[in-house]
Structure 1
Amino acid sequence: MMRWRRWASAIVTLSLLTAATMAGFRSAAAQQAQGGPVSAALVEIHASPEGAGARNGRRSADAMPLYQALKLLSATSRGARLSLAAGTYHISALGSVRLVGGRGTGPLVIQGAGDATVLVGRFRAGDPPGAALFELARSDVAFRNFAVRNVARFIDVPNGATAERIVVAGVSIEEAHDGILIDRGKRHSARDWRLEDVRIFGHVRVGIRLAGPRTQHIVIRRTMIDGGGERETNDCYKGGIQLLEAVSDVTIENVHVSRNIGCADPRYQQGDGVEADDKQGAPRRITLRHIVSSGNRDGNFDLKAEDMTLEDLVARSDGVSRHGFRLWHYRYRCTRCRLEGESSDFQVNNATLSLLDPWPADAPPLIHCGDGRARPPSVYLVERAGRSSPETICPPPK
């Protein structure tokens, strides 16, 4: 009965939003039309788990319930900042929040109080993936400083949408099917994203997936993705970070990706840390720098991409990984790339590899040839302190 009363109250409140709040949106619109600064156009909205005071959202003492604030936010084209007070927000009744914009749309900021602000859904591993908590068809949106648990997906970009200049910073995502998706098989535009200080733990399928020829200029920094190890509910093609379908101009640095292990397939168990695949167009201009990839079942780095910058990478087997680096079809130059663990290796698959100053300095790197018959043979060389070994050409496959 209490839940129905709360929902009834929400419906009434939404239809009777305070004149002051709506006046704020009109003021924001006027400032934008006059060319005023975008920051000045942001209307402040406050939310708390149960609401407080007058529940008009104008200040923290009068915070709106979250479902009311998000509905208001998704309905406006004006600039707004939604501040989420510390507490646990039960969001299973929210469904998917679609943020839609267009020309003249103001920026949105959704910010919490750090890990003390927790949004909790009812997704459980083994459930169908379902829709994302936030579907982005709007540009200039920032998500900052809160935690999300038990949702199917945190962010997705719908087919045909434009979502540019997106920031995700200080967000923790736990026990989701997927974390952040700019997904494959769609016609969308997703440029100029920054994903910083993000933590993803225990996903079923993928932590971060970037796909599409109009997915460009993406930066991922200071991020940890932990797949949670071997679980019965894991997807068979589980991964940490996936770069697909001609995505370009991506920088990933200061990142740790670990324990992505696919379902227990007796034929070949999958699970990659950082994966770039060229099936629908090779990813291009990809920079991987200062990354530790560890305990991912198949390859800690499984790369099929053109024009890659690879610097200061560590592939650690942790007694689990089949390969350290799997490099396919293109030219790769890997500077200070490091193998750790007995089974860790460089596997070249009809690729050209130059290893510069690999670690440890006093031991030859373990390089295996995995060539197929349809392409030219792999070629590799090792250079230390400016002195290069002769090129080695992989023998024809048997």
Structure 2
Amino acid sequence: MFKGITGNVFILGLVSFFTDVSSEMIYPLLPLFLTGLLGAGPAFLGAIEGVAESTASLLKLFSGIVSDRVRRRKRLVLAGYSISALMRPLIGSATSPLAVLLIRTGDRVGKGIRTSPRDALIADSVDPSLRGKAYGFHRSMDHAGALVGPLLATFLLAYVVKDLRQLFWLAGIPGLIAVLLIVWKVTEAERSPLPKTGLRLGALPPGRLRRYLLVLFLFTLGNSSDAFLLLKAGAVGTPSYRLPLLWAFFHLVKMVSSMPFGALSDRIGRRAVIVAGWCVYSLSYLGFGVARSEWQIWLLFAVYGLFFGLTEGAEKAFLADMAQPGERGAAFGWYNFAVGAGALPASLLFGGIWQLEGAVAPFLFGASLAAVAAVLLLLLIPPTPATGKERL
């Protein structure tokens, strides 16, 4: 099952697991902490997430380009995870909404620094024919952490700690474990760095890699925040106490499906699996648009979770196949920037359409963009040769 998962890939998977345990012990409770204890409103919560994620998107691009020009990507990965591990538990000491904004932004600065170099290091550390499996494994570990984190937080609040601040401080422990794993176990992959000049932040990669990023950006414009899906779940009558269980179930599907579908992309081709995933997304969004009962929502979350399993590993492996070895960091920087840059307008569009046209129209919009993106991917981007002949 784990054939081809190298030491670096395995350890970076554990790093993501412990980091997500730490993050998800805090993140689901952050709105309650802000509005209940610190007196912030929903608008300020939106501002915090908007500033934090925008900062991370820009830094992912910059750090990816820089990582191609340094000999040790590990240093950037370590710096990014260390910043997040130090900043995240400080929320336990926050006494104002502004302090949470600064701490949350610092956490996302760390994410922006580490993500693209880490993705490039995974590509450097695994055989090209097994990249899909490697990225699928990494995403599975990430989702496992996202599943364990809220459950651990629930247990600690029920039996160990008395308030949210104590819980937030405890969330620093798995973050520290992640940092120590990088220091002790992650090794640098052999490669020749590019010259340390000419970062060219404004230059998109050429050829099919550029076309792939543009199609991906188009798809992302229809891929709004999953918070709208929870809103839909509540609208059809799902009780509030079952929403965390629904969310945990969603992460379980993503965790179980990511590695098998990533490995499938190694056998039948990345493009085929990505197109299948985007079609699953389109169908699930059509379903969310017309869903009228709770059992339908649970079924749709299962289908929607398969979309993540199909695409998260395959999309990154497809990018690594197309990028030149010396420019993988920059390629992942642009990939992460395209996804991050499309996320904010996607949610604004979705929310605006919902408000103006009702709850069905925005899901139809997202489904339509996904279908168009799938067709364009087939028409504009040929399959990569790294995984052999494609069957689609």
Give TM class, smaller chain: under 0.3
TM-score, normalised to structure 2's length? 0.19
Greater percentage in strand? 1
| Structure having the higher Rg | 1
Q: Going by fraction, where is helix more abundant, 1 or 2?
A: 2
